[in-house]
Chain A
Amino acid sequence: MTPLVNIAGLGVAFGGVPVLRGVDLALGKGEALGLVGESGSGKSVTWLAALGLLPRHAQVSGSVRLEGREILGAPATELDHVRGGRIAMIFQDPASALNPVLTIRRQLCEALALHRDLQGNAVKAEARRLLDLVGIPDAGRRLEAYPHEFSGGQVQRIMIAMALAGNPDLLIADEPTTALDATIQAQILDLLSTVRREFGMAMVLISHDLGVVAENCDRVAVMYAGRIVEEAPSNQLFADPAHPYAQGLIGALPPLDGPRRRLTAIPGTVPDPAKMPGGCAFAPRCALASEPCGHAAPSLAPIANDRRVACIRAEAFRRALLGIAAE
């Protein structure tokens, strides 16, 4: 079966400095995928590049297929149809994500007019219905308001309504709750999973919050320094991370139950993209690094059904997993 989106060898460089160094990722219809990693690991850039939303001076290479059709470098008219119509995206900072001088109605109806065959009053009625759906009270009156008249959480709800306007197959939520209060975060995440179920959409949840991803996603891909280093079903990744970086991320999480333990931090910082070490980018911070790690960057290798890891110790993991399975 063709996946909904298939990204292969996606690379992005700014002024010759690579920030994305060969990303391979597939996403099925209706699937919820979490994309985690530190700031600057390339989570957002992956999807901005896929949708052609990076600034013009970015050099993008590789392939992004939507139901088998290449969209990387596709003509503008085709991309405009994909953006919002097939793949919608919402962003981190709701305060600046909406145009300050246009009413919500203008911005919502614009998306509806672009992707739905609606006319006249039907457009406005649909806009009202969407606002209702995302939980903006008094939707009819609020349509005429401007973005600054809403709170951050409400603006993010409006962004979700706008994303739903095109009936997309995939919603990319780029750190949708990072800029919001904790109580509002939970509401927005609830809303996202509700609309995902109702619309049967696939979703990519980009976040550096592992807890958020664990709760909302079927599968997780961990990114480090412009590459995916591990990909696994959520429950397996959190129970038994294979890549030392994923282990480090999960070791840094406080457990909700069980005995209290000391949290571990990953030593060092993410390498500067301009001074990337040869070989595995994580090796300088890795407690398990050995001499061969410096030679070549390991590629993603399967270690079980649905599980892939980019580490020279992948084979050892695979055996360990099989050994557990054999018992």
Chain B
Amino acid sequence: MKTVLYVAGEELALEYHQHGDSDAVYDLVWNGQAQPPAHVIAIRDDTITLLVDGRPLHAYVVRDGDRSLISIEGRTYEFNHTPPRHARARQRGTSGSFEPEIRSPMPGKILDVKVVAGEVVAEGQTLVLLEAMKMENALAAEGQARVASIHVADGDLVELGQILVELEPIEAE
């Protein structure tokens, strides 16, 4: 069997073949590289117990539409099963990334728009103050940029994902 999984635009190829006559031992090829065989100890409705590289692991698995969410040892892994519709190879929080559209991370109320169109902002500079879940949340620029446009005003109620501010990157000198 071969599956391809997608993480934030990255493609991960996994081949898994049953090892000889064994029901529960799999030979693995991970992104073209052979891996030590894995033992599949048990598959249940929402959990799988594996022995990977000799180490027993208990995985909680949930399928939500096209994505699979897996929790192992308190850490969450998320994969998509089909390629992303928009080939935006962007990963949040990694160096070199830049998100030009500042969207509301949750429904809430705009308390204060701290910038004006055309203004040059520094990395980490607060653009908008959003009140949600009883707290003030500062939404900041991820890098140096120029404010291209502003779509909200003080007091506006905003929805999850609504575009608040658009930025355009400035090349570092």
> Do A and B associate with each other?
no
Name A's B-contacting residues (CB within 8 A).
Answer: none
Report B's interface with A, CB cutoff 8 A: none
